[in-house]
Every structure is written in C-alpha cells, then in structure tokens.
Amino acid sequence: MTELHKSFDYVVVGAGSAGSVLAARLTEDENVSVLLIECGGSDDLPEVKDPSKWPTLFYGDLDWGWSTQPLRSCNNRVDHLPRGKMLGGCHSHNASAWVRGHHSDFDNWAYSGCPGWSWADVLPIFKKIEDWQGPASDLRGTGGPIFVTPPVDPNPLSTTFIEGARLSGLPVLDDINSSVDLLGAGYFNFTVKDGQRFSVVDGYLKPAMSRPNLTVLTHAETDRVVLDGHRCIGVEYRREGRIHRVHADCEVILSAGTIGSPRILLLSGIGPEKDLQSVGIPVAVNLKGVGRNLQDHALLAGLVYECQGSLPPLRNNGAESTLWWKSDSRLIGPDIQPVFIEFPLASPELADRLPHDQCYTISPSVVRPASRGTIRLASADRTDAPLIDVNFMSRDADVTAMLAAVELCREIGNSDAFAPFRAREVMPGPLGQTDMIDFIRNSVSTYFHPTSTCRMGQNPMCVVDPELKVYGIEGLRIADASIMPNVTSGNTNAPSVMIGEKAAELIRA
C-alpha cells in the first residue's frame, strides 16, 4: 500500500501499549472504521519474542535512537532513551514486567483534577485486561486479553535477592499486584507465555487485524495533525519517501508515546507560543503544557557484585525480582523501587570498573521523582530528533531518596543471603556521602518509564482534559503515558495499557 485514498472514522497514531488496545477495542463495533499508523514494522522477530533479549533491542531499527540533552545535574552526561519502534511499541521492547502501581498514584490523579481516574475507577479496567495465572485474588482478573504470570523457575540469584530483603527486615510479597500497600520484595509479574513475550500485539492487535474495519499501516511516520481552524481533521505522515494525508471523520487519537505525542503537537503548531516561535512554526493553539512536566524513574546502573563461581544463566527476563520501600516513613506510598538484574550493569562512565561478565547487579531507583524535564523541537524540520531534557537528579529530594535506596540495596547485597554467590562488591563500596553522591550522578540512567509530557488535568499547564481531549482543538485526543499527571510508582507499561482501555471507553461513550 503506497497511499490511502479514503477517510476513516478514527485515525490512531502509534501501535504501542495504548494505541494497539484502542484500535482493537474501537473496531469491535463493525460500523466503525479505524486506521492505525505505526512508524516501525513487525514485532515478529526472534530477538523480540525472547523475553531475555530486551537489552539487545535498544539500538538499531527497532528503537527510535533518541538520546537526552546533557544531564546538568549528572556531570553533563548524555543518556540513551530507548523507545520501541515496531508493532507493540515499548511492550515489544521492554522487560515484560507487569506492574500496576500504588493505589495512591491514581487517587492522586483524581484529586489533582481528573475525575474518573481514581484507583476505584481504574481497578476494574486492570482486572478486565488481565488473564492472571497466579493465585486467585479479588484484585486480579482472569480471562482478559493479556497473559500475566509469575516467573517460571526463577533464577536462584533473584530468589536470593528476596531473601536478602527479608533478612534486612522487609516484608515479602506473594503477588506484587495484590499488595494493598506495595511495600516489600517479590517477583515481578510477567507478560510472558510459553517462554515468549506476550504483548498487546498478541492480546489485542493480532485478533483484531482480521476485521475488515481495521487498517494497520506500518513504516509510516506521522509528522503532524491536520487542522481546519480549531478542529483536527486528519494527519500527515511520511511513507516510502512521500508525504501523505488521511482524513478522520470523527477523531484523531495520538498514542505516539511520551516523546512522540508532544513532538507531533509541536510540529502541528500546538504548544507553548515561545517555543514554537523560536523554531519558526506558526502557532495554531498556544498550549503551554505541551512537552512540559517530563518525568522518568531514575535508575542506577548499578551496584555490582562479582559472582563466586559461575554466574547462573539468565531465566525469564533476566530481572525477575524487585522491591518497593519508602525513603522516608512519612510518605503515603513507596518512592524507591530497586530491581535485581542477573547480569552486570554499569554506566558507560564506570563500565571499565567491571572485572568481567561474571557479575550481578542490584539497581536502586527513585519512582516518585521531584525532578521535571521537557521535550522541545530542535527545529521545524520534521526529521530532526527532539530535544529531550530528562533533568535527572535536579532536585535535592531525588538525591536524598537515591542515597536511601543505595544504602538499602547495599545492605541487601552484603547480607548473609548472598554469601554463597558473593565474591566481592565491585562498586560502589562503602563511600562517604560526597563520593556516593558523585557515584550516583555518574551512574544514573533511565528506568525506561518517561511520562507526563501531555499532562491530563484542569489547570493552565494541562494538555488534555479528563476525557483525554486536547484543549483548544476539537476532534483530537491523546491516549498514552504522556497524559499521566504524575508518573506511577512502578513500571509504566500496565498503566499505559489501562489508558488505552479507558480511552476506548470514553470514545465509545
């Protein structure tokens, strides 16, 4: 297919965690026509299907290849920011972990001006999504499109991490998504079936692609939405070296992700007036919040230990266990979420300290960050990469939380539980506070969870209302992680799938 000559009722941009769900749900109505546009190609590749191969997907044709601006509070280092570029988006690109988040995340959304998005509102949606294979719970769903399972035969190192957390005084969680307060250590839930990745493509998109009212267009990059006054009437995209337009009779829904959705808005003249004028783009709508409020979980790469003897081979995704805890007991919910990684992980600046590949890693993280960043355009050229300022560790609160996370992880890593495996702690070792903060600034990296650049809410810095409609433009919504008012305190894939389901309910209503 080189050109589309017809209109569709709905045009969905981005076949990722939310977009695939949305396209599948909308086409359950046989009277509705949907075009789903995806910049990448097929996800049907051995390296995608193997859940342990996710670190190999972060460069090359399956990734957007974006990097951050120099991290001003992290010694001006530049971090790669992996984003999936294929059917399934980041659900075809990530570590297959399934984490809903803490109930206060969603209650906070509701309290901040987003009625309909509280924990009581979204819990039934999460249950509708799941086909949970673990112990029955009133908080879990079965029979849904997404296969979710505990790890099969987990790595003894990951089991040891949980035991080390228990010896350090932390509770052990039987099921992280059935925990009310989400405090303690446990195994991740995984979207893995029969040893292979099970993504939104498998659960939603492939079953829907047999429907005549769904058209999926791959290798097509959407540059901007087409406006008629203050109404969105379609999109403009590039495919095979040519520019095309397609008309949307009802709505366009951007599900291009936390980087892609604001980028498309800005290229369309929708965004902060000064930013648009600085790159010579005519202002269609002066929407101050577009590209602002960027949040990401900061991950340390990492606390590395040399293994005594041979490192046990990877199992499942190679990162099977995690924990949540509070850096300050006065917090309403957890703000740190370390993850155990069954291989060595260090930032490029510290990689020369790794003795060999027979090492394992405990990676602390901050999952309720105070730091905020931005997405801006480098120019009006649609082929230029955006300017992504993640701004990690720019607030003292994040440094304080990360210090607490490092201390907890070192206590676990040096506990008696790891005695059979631990030859020595490679890094960071028992540093003073000043040196430990420098280690943090040289080690911090993305946890692959950027959100919130098209914030939902009802204040002047919000981009969409609680029905996901873009302010100032008719016929345009956004449904992806960019609409989160604040990032959830856990891996963001499951909430993104929930956003796709919620968007479908709103549109059909």
Closest by alpha carbon to 274, among 264, 287, 261, 262?
287
pLDDT tier at 2 (50, 70, 90 boundaries)?
very low
Question: Which pTM value belongs to this model?
Answer: 0.98
- Alpha-carbon distance of 63 to 255, in angstroms, equals 16
**Cα atoms found within 13 Å of the Cα of residue 225, Cβ hemisphere only:** 37
Query: Is 80 exceeded by the pLDDT of residue 4?
Result: no
Share of residues in the chain with pLDDT > 90 (%): 98
Cross-strand partners of 389: 374
Query: What is the pLDDT of the chain when averaged over all its residues?
Result: 97
- Alpha-carbon distance of 479 to 454, in angstroms, equals 10
- Alpha-carbon distance of 439 to 447, in angstroms, equals 17
Closest by alpha carbon to 443, among 324, 359, 353, 358?
353
Please calculate the CA angle 250-31-8 and round it to the nearest 5 degrees.
40
Q: Average of pLDDT values for 270-297? A: 98
Q: Output the pLDDT for position 494.
A: 98
pLDDT tens for 123-140 read 999 999 999 999 999 999
DSSP 447-505: -S--B-TT-BSSSTT-SB-TT-BBTT-BTEEE-SGGG-SS--SS-SHHHHHHHHHHHHH
pLDDT tens for 157-168 read 999 999 999 999
Cross-strand partners of 215: 35
Q: Average of pLDDT values for 369-382? A: 98
Closest by alpha carbon to 222, among 251, 195, 196, 254?
254
Query: Is 80 exceeded by the pLDDT of residue 206?
Result: yes
Query: Is 50 exceeded by the pLDDT of residue 228?
Result: yes
- Alpha-carbon distance of 91 to 201, in angstroms, equals 9
3-state secondary structure of 171: coil
Which residue type, as a one-letter code, is found at position 100? R
Q: Average of pLDDT values for 256-271? A: 98
Q: Is 230 a catalytic residue?
A: no
Query: Is 90 exceeded by the pLDDT of residue 330?
Result: yes
pLDDT tens for 346-368 read 999 999 999 999 999 999 999 99
Structure tokens at 74: 């992290």
Q: Output the pLDDT for position 6.
A: 84
Q: Are 408 and 340 in contact (CB under 8 A)?
A: no
CA distances from 12 to 126, 253, 372 (A): 22, 5, 28
Among 91, 102, 297, 449, the active-site one is 449
Q: Output the pLDDT for position 5.
A: 55
Q: What are phi and psi for residue 381, nearest 5 degrees?
A: -70, 120
Task: Please list the helix, strand and coil fractions of the chain in percent, rounded to the nearest 5, in that order.
Answer: 25, 25, 50
Query: Is 50 exceeded by the pLDDT of residue 372?
Result: yes
Q: Output the pLDDT for position 433.
A: 97
493-508 and 19-26 helices, crossing angle to 10°? 30
pLDDT tier at 313 (50, 70, 90 boundaries)?
very high
Q: Output the pLDDT for position 303.
A: 98
pLDDT tens for 85-121 read 999 999 999 999 999 999 999 999 999 999 999 999 9
Query: Is 50 exceeded by the pLDDT of residue 226?
Result: yes
CATH number of 8-508: 3.50.50.60
Q: Are 83 and 259 in contact (CB under 8 A)?
A: yes
- Alpha-carbon distance of 71 to 158, in angstroms, equals 31
